[in-house]
Structures are given as C-alpha cells and as structure tokens.
Structure 1
Amino acid sequence: MTLAADDLAFTSPWLAQREPADIQARNRDLTARCADWLARHRKGTQQHVACLDLGSGAGANPAYLAPRLPGPQSWCLVDNDVSLLPTAEKRGRSLHDAGNRPIRLSTTVRDLRELRHDPLALDDLVAVADLVTASALFDLVSHSWVARLADACARHDASVLFTLSIDGDWAFTEAGQRLAISPEDDWIRETLAVHQYRDKGFGPALGGDAPTRLAQIFSARGYRVWKRPSPWILRPEQPESIPLALAMIQGWAMAVEEQCPDTADRVRAWHRDRHDALTAGTLGLMVGHRDLFAIAGDGE
C-alpha cells in the first residue's frame, strides 16, 4: 500500500528490495491450503477464480501466488499509486496459473483510505471476488476498516489470504540465530510500537496487533481461520540481506525520533551502533510477520 510522503512512502525501489525477503518468509502451508481449497471450491467449473488484491503496489502478491494457485484466474489489483500499477500490469502479462494457463489481470486506481467512509464501494470491490488477498497492509489500517472489509467478505462468501502482517516482534541476531539482547533495542521496540499505532488515514492503525485483530474480526463473522508465522530472517552470514536490514533500522530510527524528538541523540547512537554491527556482519535481523488464511464457515 502506498501512503502520503508524510506517513510512509512505499516506493518502487523499496518494494523491489523487500520482495526477495517476502518470498522467503511467506508461509508455504497456508499458500498450499488456499490452493487446495480453491481446487475443491472450483471443481467441475471452468469459470475463472476471481482474485482481488488490495494495496497491490508493483504486483508482488499475484506474481507469487498466481503460479501456485489453480486456475483459470482473473486478478483485479487495487492501489492508489499510478506509478506502480503499470509495473504490476507488465508483470501480469507473463504470469501463469498452476496449470500453466495465462492469467487475466486488470488494475484499478483507488485510495483504500477513502473506503473508510464508503463501505458500499468496498462492498462493490469484494462482490465479484472468490479470494481477497493483501500483503503487508494491515498494520496500517484500523479496526473499523478491517471490520468493514470482513463484513463485505462475509456477505459474498469470499475467502481471504493476508500475508506478511507485522506482529511487532523483531530482534537482532548473532551467528546461529542467537538473539542479541539489548535494553536499547527494547526501548526502540516499545517506542516504535506506539508510533505504528498512529493514524495512517484509515483511523487508528493496528500496528503489530494486526495479525491478532484480523483473526478475531474474521472469526467473529463465522470464518474458519488459520494463522502461521512468516518472519523475515536476515542472516549476518548472508551479506545480500543486509541492505534491507539497514533500510529497516533507518526507518525505525526516523519513526522513533518523530515519536520522541527529545531523544534524538539516544536514537542516533542506537542507530549508529546497530548500523555498524550489521555492516560488519556481526549481527543479522529477524522481523516478525504472520500470514492468515480464512474461509467462510461453510466453505469446506
């Protein structure tokens, strides 16, 4: 999802930088469960599986899911960034489903924040979908926004696959994935969590509570819910992962400094220390995420 510059900017370089880590982190079990459900749900019909992807950016979600799900498939990608959707369209032209059939893909320019005040528009988007997907979106949205989405999904019996929602857990790691414990990390983590609850235009953001709240909201509407961990594991012995770790701690430092301006010197000292350790290859970084797959109660 792309936000205004004063909130968070999901630029094309950033999305490209994180995609390899996202691919490694995605929970294969839930992807397979979704594929199995779609195969049984669509058995005996050649109608397209209608997939709606929210906050699509440059199209990484269908690029990963399409070849792993049965078809034929028809995707509608929704984002507010007109500079990213052409990349998604271009990628879509080369995508095939698990049966090697080309997918259909269309894009819609829509600011998901506006749907906060227009539940009928959200309902219209979901109405034709068999599967609603989103990746790295729900820490930004509010409880009420998710509730409206869940209401729409329940009305139309749409299943959902939501991936890479941050859970608020992160830690620096030494070789062998041993945790590197630091009181300064704890302070940064706690302050960052408060910042992540700030309104991003959807209402008070879910932040690291997103995975738990998603499960609660969809369960309350009769959905069967499966959750699995999908952490980024950026290892110190894998130097290709370090630029992403450096980008993460830079963003965290900026957020904490914004949250507590009078602690700028402390934040910068923490950032300098962790930056040097990551660059030297003595530390890696684990960033917790969770994936969720849910089907309407009578979906199986």
Structure 2
Amino acid sequence: MIVDQAVYRDGCRTAIDVDVSGIPPDGFSWIGLREPTPEEIDEVGVECGLHELLMEDVHKAHQRAKWDTFDEASLFVLKTAVYEPPDEVRIGEIQVVVGPRFVVTVRHGPTPDLGVVRRRLEANPDLLRHGPMAVLYALADLVVDAYAPVLSELETDIDEAEEAVFSDELRSNQAPRVYHLKRQVLELRRNIVPVGDLLADLCETDSHMVPEDLEEYFRDVVDHAQRISGRVELARELLTDALNANLAQQGVQQNEDMRKISAWAAVIATPTLLAGVWGMNFDHMPELDWQVGYPLAVASMAIVAGSLILYFRRAGWL
C-alpha cells in the first residue's frame, strides 16, 4: 500500500499533487510504499519511468544489501534489523529508488517507521533542499542507528550466556543457547556489513552520486556502521570463546564422572575379590577354624574399601 506521497520544493512540502513528469526541476516527489502489491509497484514504476530490470528487483523482496545504477534511477537496498525476545533477530528491508526528481521507498518485513524520517527532513528545509539524496541519507542514518539497540540486546543475552557457561551448575549445557545466539549474530553481521560497504562505496569521489554538501553526512553514517560492525565482530568472538569453553567444560565434567565411576568400581571390586577368595570351597583354609575368621574377613574388606575411599578422595576422584 502507498503509505505517503508528497512533492517537495525548495526544502518544503507542497500541496501540489502531480505526476513525476510534471514536477519542476527544483522539486522532487517522495512516494512511500509498505508491503505493496505487484500492481502498486507497476503503477509507480510506470509513473517514474523505471527500467524493467530495476522493476524486477523491486518486485523481489528480501534481497542482499546492494546498489544498482540504471539510466533513469539507482536502486539501494538497505537491510533493517529488529530484536524480538528472547534471543531473536528479525531482518527487514527498505528498497530506495532514487531518481533526479523522485524517491520511492518500498518496505518489506520488520522496518522502522519512515514517518519519523519525513518529519525530521520536513523540519530541516536546508537538508531537504539537497533533494532525493538527502532522503537516502536520512533513511541510511535511521537504519544504521537502529542496529545499535538490537546489538545491545544481543550483547545482554551474550553476557547472560557467558555467566551460565561459567556458573557452578556444570550439569547445565549452554551449547544450544550459545549456538543460537551465534547464529543470530552471524545473521546480523551478514546483513549489516554490506550496508556499511555500500555506503562507503557511495562516498567514494568517483561515484558522483553524493552532492558535495552531503558528503560529511554520509561519512558520519559510514562511521556509525563501522563501529557497529566492530561490535558485531567482538560479539561473534565472545560467542565462539563461550561455545569452546562450554564444550571444554562438558569434556572436563565427563572426565570427572569417569574418574568417580572408576574409583567406585575399584572400591567395590576389592571386597568382591576378597569375598571370592574366602568363599572358595577349600578344606584346608585356616580361617575356617577361627572363631574370629568371619569378623576378620569382613573387617579386612571394610578396611581395604575404606582405605581406597580415603585415597581416592585425597586424589580428588571422589
């Protein structure tokens, strides 16, 4: 559906409702769509005179972050991220078609409210006078800034997972949660790193896309994206270390269990051996004629078993 459509001239929103072809050279139109139908996309494409290959990309939602340039317009795909508890990151997409006198934004999946961007730009006519590229800057700034709270939530989950891994509850296997968090971080990285690369390429002098007055604004967004990427890399490394530590702890715990089992097996086997010897059906066994033979045999078993238990406890096996 078309969420909003407006014509801007000299940095201000006007009441003029005309086709893109009728917009004066010093103005531009901004058409906002949210989960549009194919018919709505085609209608806007015809109005803006978009290339058929560009239209094909707009029809295909959930693409990678990219920047494609055609004769009449350029297509920018920005990936959005939203955190949903517990431990879940959902990825959305904003497609931005930038032409000389128009901007078309197409939202798919979980995305921020672009009405905030409109109000921000409309409150800053000096920035809005730069035309469609000012809209692209504001959208990129919103998308990149939205990564920070998502990553903060993931970092909180990572801290909790680390505490659980190194807690006294060694029987608790945290590997499934740590692995799930790592998958979420990798999914976030897979989508936001290309956005930063896209914006960095856009700021290159040979791109001729960014007006000189907007270069500082775009570089600021690139700087924010690079900082977010650094935090994502750190989060990935922490999860890798936590997963390795959890697996190592599980191995140590299994060794502890095997030592305990072996120690108790030795404690049980020794009295069993003695009982087997005394239980043999021999005629000439001195203990058979002793009144203290039976107590002596039982006491010997108890002493040997007690000695083994004491030894294994001192050795840390029990």
Larger % of helix: which?
A: 2
> TM-score, normalising length from structure 2?
0.25
Q: Which has the higher contact order (CA 8 A, sep 6+)?
A: 1
Q: What TM-score do the two structures reach when normalised by structure 1?
A: 0.26
